[in-house]
Amino acid sequence: MCRGCVPSSCPGCGKALKRRDFLKGCGLAAATLAGASSPRSLAEEPRGNRARVGLVFLSKEGASWPHPKYEAAGRRREVLSMLRNGCPDIDFVPIVVAGPADVPKAIALKDQVDGYLIYVVTLMWNFQPAITQIGRLGKPMLLADETLGGSGVFLCGYGDLLRQKIPAAAVASTRLADLVAVARQFDQANKPGTTPASFAQRCREVYRGTFPPAGEMKCLDDAVPLTGIGECLKRFKQSRFLIVTQGRSGREGNFLGARGVYVGFDEFKAHCGQVDRDEAAQWARRWTGQAEKVVEPSAGPIEKAGAVYLATRQLLKKYGTDSVTMNCLGGFAAGLLPAYPCLGFMQILDDGGQGVCQAMPDDTVSMLMARILTGRPGYVSNPVLDSSKNQVIYSHCVATTKAFGPQGPTNPFRIRTLHDRDPRSVCNESLLPPGYMTTSFRVSCAEKKMIVHQAKAVGNLGADRGCRTQLVAEVRGDIGKLFDRWGAAFDWHRVTVYGDVKEPLVEFAKALGLGIIEEA
């Protein structure tokens, strides 16, 4: 709903809603959020039979997700107003947690509220412990996600609750009415016999009632040429990749038999100093000419990205590999990288190698498996769930433009700034092809497990929030199961490869000695 519009009926219950009532609710929400109630003032208020719920917004202005200029305060007011209008028999007490120091404010409500609704608005990883801290209070609890906003903390925080067997329910939907319908279950939170576990179960039942029927899974023809499992194992064990990060160069790690070689930023910077600047400018012009359009970046940052690409190629040649993962975010923030490697990683992926974000060996090993098995590049992403459409949004700032391999067709892309909208940053927004079955998975080398699900690619979202490439896919299977398995396994990332290749991928994983978790 546009923030300037007034609904004719409550999005939660469908009752007629007059303009003055809606605006009154918005005004009340603004006033309440401007000065959150203290435990003392709450204790003095008569409660009657109404349930009282602590509405905890994990929200910090300027966070990189949805983006630094996102108007989080306005969204908080909108959510509070919708909840109050849709749940008229429940008192919501809003608290804004902008960091760890604010968590005690939420915990201090425990004796004055009957339950907690935690709404994750923005992505700050120091928010994640607050979810379990509040969960341990033993109150009925509901967790909600702002789509392409707090999604990583939401999914991983919910996983923490599941692993620690803390009863809670969760909602991730672009349709705010779904949250209202589930939140209405708080009206039983202060009734005899209601426990955190019974409340969570009731919320799950109501939430499942909002899921749409499964869509048509018929996909475009896509015959994937597969490598035999024996050959896959041989090539995997012979693989080596670089891990560029802070620290001493030369140290090696064993990742399920593949070797990871650590390279310090000092060594990488030396290669950056040897780059031919004219050649870097040529790559910048090449990418600019190939792009559907250049949206935000100017020529200077794109040329610096060209220099980082050439330095990366030098490094790969030195170590005799075509695969690298780099601590891009930390390196750039610390001034150890002159530019982000995203455009160069796109080129490496398109040429048949691997450029992987964030110095992530597990992501790199997963991409190695996909590439060895199928000859196709993987796409690492920060996935976001949207139950209202039975969809996953696979979002990241690096992506291939050749989803079917180096010899396959090229899809359009745009040149953008990164998710943090820093004008010095450059990445690609790849408009990946719809209509095909995809397989998404991730390996944990430490746990020796692989988690996997499938979804049909249906389009590209292009929302002005979160990371730039946003492949949208409809879940094959049960999105409710996907909720509960996602966080219960490990980490946020998944690696997506085009093709209906779950079965051979599982066979490959078992041959590596991995346990299998099917998500959906």
DSSP states of 288-323 as a string?
HHHSSEE-S--HHHHHHHHHHHHHHHHHHHHHT-SE
pLDDT range class, residue 405, cuts 50, 70, 90: very high
Judge if 28 and 150 occupy the same domain. yes
Q: Is residue 445 part of a domain?
A: yes
Coil/strand/helix, residue 457: strand
Judge if 23 and 135 occupy the same domain. yes
pLDDT range class, residue 308, cuts 50, 70, 90: very high
| Boundary residue ending a domain (208, 241, 269) | 208
| pLDDT for the residue 488 | 59
Query: Comparing C-alpha atoms, which of 364, 397, 98 is closest to residue 245?
Result: 364
Contact 337, 469 (CB under 8 A): no
Coil/strand/helix, residue 211: coil
Separation of alpha carbons 307 and 339, rounded Å: 8
Judge if 150 and 242 occupy the same domain. no
Examine the pLDDT at 73 and tell me if it is beyond 80.
Answer: yes
Q: What single DSSP character describes residue 388?
A: G
Contact 242, 325 (CB under 8 A): yes
Judge if 387 and 474 occupy the same domain. yes
pLDDT digits (tens, 9 = 90+) for 217-228: 999 999 999 999
Q: Is the pTM of this model over 0.85?
A: yes
Domain range for 129: 19-37+46-208
pLDDT range class, residue 489, cuts 50, 70, 90: low
Domain containing 323 — which CATH number?
3.20.14
Q: What single DSSP character describes residue 500?
A: S
pLDDT digits (tens, 9 = 90+) for 40-62: 456 555 556 899 999 999 999 99
Domain containing 191 — which CATH number?
3.40.50.280
| pLDDT for the residue 42 | 60
Q: Is residue 325 part of a domain?
A: yes
Examine the pLDDT at 28 and tell me if it is beyond 80.
Answer: no
pLDDT digits (tens, 9 = 90+) for 95-121: 999 999 999 999 999 999 999 999 999
Examine the pLDDT at 11 and tell me if it is beyond 70.
Answer: no
Q: Is residue 369 part of a domain?
A: yes
Q: Is residue 287 part of a domain?
A: yes
- Sign of the torsion formed by the C-alpha atoms of 23, 28, 29 and 31: positive
Examine the pLDDT at 38 and tell me if it is beyond 80.
Answer: no
Judge if 106 and 250 occupy the same domain. no
pLDDT range class, residue 316, cuts 50, 70, 90: very high
Backbone angles phi, psi at 176, to 5 degrees: -60, -25
- Sign of the torsion formed by the C-alpha atoms of 197, 199, 205 and 210: negative
pLDDT digits (tens, 9 = 90+) for 441-466: 999 999 999 999 999 999 999 999 99
Average pLDDT over residues 91-98: 98
Tokens at 511, concatenated: 């041959």
Separation of alpha carbons 199 and 193, rounded Å: 10
Examine the pLDDT at 12 and tell me if it is beyond 90.
Answer: no
Task: State percent of the chain over pLDDT 90.
Answer: 87
Judge if 235 and 202 occupy the same domain. no
Q: Is residue 9 part of a domain?
A: no
Contact 363, 371 (CB under 8 A): no
Contact 188, 196 (CB under 8 A): no
Q: Over the chain, what is the mean pLDDT? A: 91
Q: Is residue 245 part of a domain?
A: yes
Tokens at 150, concatenated: 């707090």
| pLDDT for the residue 485 | 80
Judge if 309 and 165 occupy the same domain. no
Judge if 233 and 172 occupy the same domain. no
| pLDDT for the residue 41 | 55
| pLDDT for the residue 40 | 45
Judge if 349 and 310 occupy the same domain. yes
pLDDT range class, residue 35, cuts 50, 70, 90: very low
Q: Is residue 419 part of a domain?
A: yes
Judge if 285 and 192 occupy the same domain. no
pLDDT digits (tens, 9 = 90+) for 330-369: 999 999 999 999 999 999 999 999 999 999 999 999 999 9
Angstrom distances, CA of residue 86 to CA of 22, 31, 79, 300: 11, 19, 10, 50
Judge if 204 and 234 occupy the same domain. no
Q: Which residues contact 31 (CB under 8 A, 6 or more apart)?
A: none
| pLDDT for the residue 246 | 87
| pLDDT for the residue 14 | 43
Coil/strand/helix, residue 480: helix
Distance of CA 71 to the CA centre of its chain: 20
Contact 473, 391 (CB under 8 A): yes
pLDDT range class, residue 18, cuts 50, 70, 90: very low
| pLDDT for the residue 421 | 93
- Number of independent structural domains in the chain: 2
Q: Is residue 332 part of a domain?
A: yes
Examine the pLDDT at 29 and tell me if it is beyond 50.
Answer: no
Q: Which residues contact 247 (CB under 8 A, 6 or more apart)?
A: 262, 264
Angstrom distances, CA of residue 174 to CA of 385, 502, 515: 9, 28, 33
Judge if 190 and 255 occupy the same domain. no
Average pLDDT over residues 181-207: 97
| Boundary residue ending a domain (153, 173, 208) | 208
Average pLDDT over residues 125-134: 96
Separation of alpha carbons 35 and 366, rounded Å: 48
